[in-house]
């Protein structure tokens, strides 16, 4: 469970305070994507298919969360800042946006350990639901991501319709299922967007399912961690751990290095060129998303194309063997100049 600084939920009783909070939410949602992608990209094609599918579904929903947060920010007259090198966290390091937690988030190849101790910690709700065969440790109750979004919702309701001064044409409504990527123009639609973000990550207090009846991120990662499916049943909890299994084949993971930087690879080497190229594409993606979220939503298809290019370029990197027998990996750094 991510713990936030209490100052993050203070000062929300003004429009600018809400805009600042949503800007922090966008940074926080984005910051999870590179660490999830690094683990996903490290899984070799043709192996660990169930695990790859689960992580990929979570990454796509994190992109949805960024988009929904941008829609809410635009709806109240703000401007998402995506074309910004400070948007990218330093890995390894804490998540941005006022995180007070001691959790250090790395770029590491897939392992059950990184899923259990990092990904589940990021996505954990304040009170995880306990299912048969599972007993989770007690959690502290400071300021959590769910509470943070809850305070934003409270202030949107308190300040009312008058704060919705944004241009409706800046809303992004295509690229994801229409019932998830919603247009935000008023209090009810803003509250709905925030509810989707929270419940896709954490589930509800009574169910591991989100609003679309899929498992929330925490429970999908728990499936990977346990190697079991969380299946519905008629028990009081409504679910249990069991079949079908979710197997993990460790030979299906590239032996990529942890927390790479472009400078990790010698200038002029194949690995350095591939890393610089990846970072240029990643930076181009952020620049394109900035355009998308600041008045040109029709450019989303261009951003999706860059996302596909990232996958291909990461594959090239992770197949590149280094002199010590390990493999290269993408560093997710700001690279505005085409190498």
Q: Give one DSSP letter per residue of 312-323, joined into a string.
A: HHHHHHHT-B-T
Specify the pLDDT at position 87. Answer: 93
Dmax over CA atoms of the chain, in Å, equals: 61
Q: Name the residue ranges covered by the structural domains of the chain.
A: 6-248, 254-339
Specify the pLDDT at position 202. Answer: 66
Residue 240: its H or E element: strand 239-242
Class of the domain covering 6-248: mainly alpha
Per-residue pLDDT of the chain (339 residues; tens, 9 = 90+): 677 777 777 788 899 999 999 999 999 999 999 999 999 999 999 999 999 999 999 999 999 999 999 999 999 999 999 999 999 999 999 888 656 567 899 999 999 999 999 999 888 877 666 555 433 344 344 567 888 899 999 999 999 999 999 999 999 998 766 568 899 999 999 999 999 998 887 655 566 776 666 788 988 999 999 999 988 888 777 888 888 999 999 999 999 999 999 999 999 999 999 999 999 999 999 999 999 999 999 898 899 899 999 999 999 999 999 999 999 999 999 999 887
Specify the pLDDT at position 232. Answer: 83
Specify the pLDDT at position 135. Answer: 37
Cis ω before 244 (30° cut-off from 0): yes
Specify the pLDDT at position 100. Answer: 57
Specify the pLDDT at position 136. Answer: 38
Specify the pLDDT at position 134. Answer: 39
| Gap between the Cα atoms of 190 and 196, Å rounded | 10
Which residues lie below 8 Å from residue 192, measured CB to CB, with a gap of 6+? 182
Helix (H, G, I), strand (E, B) or coil at 256: strand
């Amino acid at each position: 469970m991510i713990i936030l600084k209490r100052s993050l939920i203070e000062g929300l009783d003004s429009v600018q305070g809400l805009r600042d909070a949503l800007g922090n939410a966008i940074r926080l949602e984005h910051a999870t994507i590179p660490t999830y992608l690094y683990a996903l990209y490290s899984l070799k094609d043709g192996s660990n298919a169930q695990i790859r599918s689960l992580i990929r579904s979570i990454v796509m929903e994190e992109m949805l969360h960024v988009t929904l947060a941008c829609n809410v920010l635009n709806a109240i007259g703000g401007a998402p800042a995506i074309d910004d090198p400070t948007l990218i966290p330093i890995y390894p390091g804490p998540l941005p946006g006022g995180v007070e937690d001691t959790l250090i988030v790395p770029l590491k190849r897939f392992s059950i350990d990184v899923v259990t101790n990092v990904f589940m910690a990021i996505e954990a709700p304040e009170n995880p639901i306990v299912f048969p065969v599972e007993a989770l440790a007690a959690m502290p109750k400071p300021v959590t991501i769910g509470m943070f979004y809850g305070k934003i919702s409270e202030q949107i309701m308190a300040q009312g319709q008058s704060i919705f001064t944004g241009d409706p044409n800046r809303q992004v409504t295509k690229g994801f299922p229409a019932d998830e990527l919603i247009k935000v123009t008023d209090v009810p639609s803003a509250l709905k967007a925030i509810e989707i973000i929270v419940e896709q990550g954490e589930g509800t207090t009574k169910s591991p399912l989100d609003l679309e009846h899929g498992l929330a991120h925490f429970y999908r990662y728990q499936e990977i961690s346990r190697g079991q499916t969380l299946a519905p049943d008629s028990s009081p909890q409504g679910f249990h751990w069991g079949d079908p299994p979710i197997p993990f084949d460790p030979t299906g993971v590239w032996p990529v290095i942890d927390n790479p930087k472009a400078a990790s690879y010698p200038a002029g080497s194949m690995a350095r060129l591939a890393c610089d190229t990846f970072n240029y594409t990643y930076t181009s993606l952020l620049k394109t998303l900035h355009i998308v979220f600041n008045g040109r939503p029709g450019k989303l298809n261009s951003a999706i194309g860059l996302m596909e290019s990232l996958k291909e370029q990461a594959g090239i990197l992770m197949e590149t063997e280094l002199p010590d027998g390990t493999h290269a990996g993408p560093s997710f750094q700001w690279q505005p100049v085409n190498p």
